[in-house]
Amino acid sequence: MSERIPVQLVDPPPPPSRSQPASTPWAAFGGGIYPRSFSGLFRNLRLGGAGALFLLFFGTAWLDWDGRQAVLWDLVDSRFYIFGATFWPQDFILLSALLIICAFGLFFITVFAGRVWCGYSCPQSVWTWVFLWCEKLTEGERNQRIKRDAAPWSTGKLLRRSSKHLLWLLVSLLTALTFLGYFTPIRPLAQELFSLQLEGAALFWLLFFSAATYINAGWLREQVCIHMCPYARFQSVMFDKDSLLVSYDAARGEGRGPRRKDADHRAQGLGDCLDCQLCVQVCPTGIDIRDGLQLACIGCAACIDACDSIMDKMGYARGLVRYSSEHELEGGQTRLLRPRLLGYAAVLLSMLLAFGWALQARPLAALDVTRDRGLYRENGQGEIENSYRLRLINKTQSAQRYELGLVDAAGLRLQGQQRLRLRLQAGEILDLPVSVALTAEQESQAGARPIHFQLSGIDDSQLRVRAHSTFVAPRR
């Protein structure tokens, strides 16, 4: 008979940062985490990056370029303006390439320094920090918020809570308005909104994105990073022992405990960690970095700034919590130049060069050919004709003259002549039906043969594009 090992269930204690009473209805949606204010190098870097992103996001939508909005995805006319360039649905392969480049860039950054994208640049994190600032502005610092949430409702509590949510809603509304402004001209959109004339699809999407911002950044907060973001799930497979991650130096910090500033803590058997819990209190996801690398860590380095401030006050060396690698924590050295990182860098650089070349070489004119369903017909001169429908697009931002003709087409004639001259306005799309005839002296060439149309710019010789189809003739 095998020996039985007794098992006793023990409920783990709640994390120190979750001080909100369990009865609070929204505790499951991030309300139990009260990040504390702090200052430091990495906070300043994050504020600088977030400020630049905010300026880019909210400011770019209001810029003009040659009498139109500088950056606009015109869904009605199916074109995308980026300052002096115009992109069409035929150019969407470039968008796919750009997304792949961004993915490889994220892989490279993750291998090098973990989830710094999440902590410094991810919109979810940036907007959450903004909402937390609104919360601090209206409800006070961490301890005040904890006490106020635990206290019964009063007029002051209601006013502060209402002010916070009004600020949240205002930020959400401005975010949604700016986001929609990249898909429909923002000035008329803003005018219709503030004159209360906005309706239809625009009103629906404005309310939708406002609600999404309000819920994600105000209520869900860290739950998005922990449970909803797929990046948190596969990040660990990209780390290696030389990745720079936010880490606690246990060899230096243990054992933990309070002490006097002038005491010899080593003689007392203590490490450098005072167990002050400040690293936990500033964490936006409520984790204890001293427990090791965790799924919820977004690499924001708030705990580094908090710990360094305590080390400065105690006169200890900084870096008890720092960006470090597993090799370094084990007593070795971090290898920055390693095959995995260099491989990602080489692929990323190659993709950037290829994307730059494709962007520069993309044709600024488009020509699509569709052959009519009928096989062929005989015209009044007894010649065999095939009919085609051509779509011509002037992708430039100025009017252009073009010449349309056939190339490598011995015995074929375009609409009774060799070439057609056309003029297209900036961004104009022309649907042009044409017919191609097989001359009498070439009628012995029966069956199917390739045919090539070429559109050439007259004003700009670099505007040249070809399209291919098939010409069918019967046997006589």
The answer, yes or no, to whether residue 269 has pLDDT greater than 80, is yes
Whole-number pLDDT of residue 24: 39
Domains delineated in the chain: 34-87+122-220 (no CATH), 365-473 (2.60.40.10)
Q: What is the pLDDT of residue 18?
A: 42
Cα gap 353→55, rounded to integer Å = 28
Convert the pLDDT of each residue in 365-422 to its tens digit.
Answer: 989 999 988 778 888 787 888 999 999 999 888 899 999 999 887 788 887 667 889 9
Residue type, 142: R
Between 100 and 438, residue with greater pLDDT: 100
Q: What is the pLDDT of residue 235?
A: 76
Cβ count within 10 A of residue 327: 15
Confidence of residue 445 (pLDDT cuts 50, 70, 90): low
- Work out the average pLDDT over 329-337: 89
Q: Is the pLDDT of residue 14 over 80?
A: no
Decide if 225 contacts 296 (C-beta within 8 A): yes
Average of per-residue pLDDT values in the chain: 88
Residues 379 and 437: their CA atoms lie apart, in Å, by: 8
pLDDT given for residue 112 in this prediction: 93
Q: What is the pLDDT of residue 442?
A: 63
pLDDT given at position 162? 96
pLDDT digits (tens, 9 = 90+) for 189-238: 999 999 999 999 999 999 999 999 999 999 999 899 888 888 877 777 88
Cβ-Cβ contacts under 8 Å for 130 (sequence gap 6 or more): 50, 171, 217
Q: Is the pLDDT of residue 95 over 90?
A: no
182-195 burial, b for 16+ CB within 10 Å, e for fewer? Answer: bbbbbeebbebbee
Measured at the CA of 228, the angle between CA 23 and CA 172, to 5 degrees, comes to 75
Name the pLDDT band for 443 (thresholds 50, 70, 90): low
Count Cα atoms within 13 angstroms, Cβ side, for 402: 30
Higher pLDDT, 340 or 476: 340
CA angle 341, 342, 348 (to 5 degrees): 90
Work out the percent of the chain whose per-residue pLDDT is above 90: 61
pLDDT confidence of 361, banded at 50, 70, 90? confident
**Nearest alpha-carbon partner for 425 in 393, 377, 451, 388:** 393
Angstrom distances, CA of residue 351 to CA of 162, 209, 341, 356: 49, 33, 15, 8
Q: What is the pLDDT of residues 256-265, one digit of tens each?
A: 999 999 889 9
143-156: buried (b, 16+ CB within 10 Å) or exposed (e) per residue?
eebbeebeeeeeee
What average pLDDT does range 318-326 have in this prediction?
A: 95
> Which range among 17-31, 117-131, 158-172, 446-460 has the greatest average pLDDT?
158-172
Q: Is the pLDDT of residue 31 over 60?
A: no
Tell me the mean pLDDT in the region 143-163. 94
What tens digit of pLDDT does each residue of 33-81 get?
Answer: 899 999 999 999 999 988 999 999 999 999 998 888 999 998 887 889 9
With 90 as the cut, is the pLDDT of residue 288 above it? yes
- If pLDDT is split at 50, 70 and 90, which confidence band does 4 have? low
pLDDT of residue 323 exceeding 90: yes
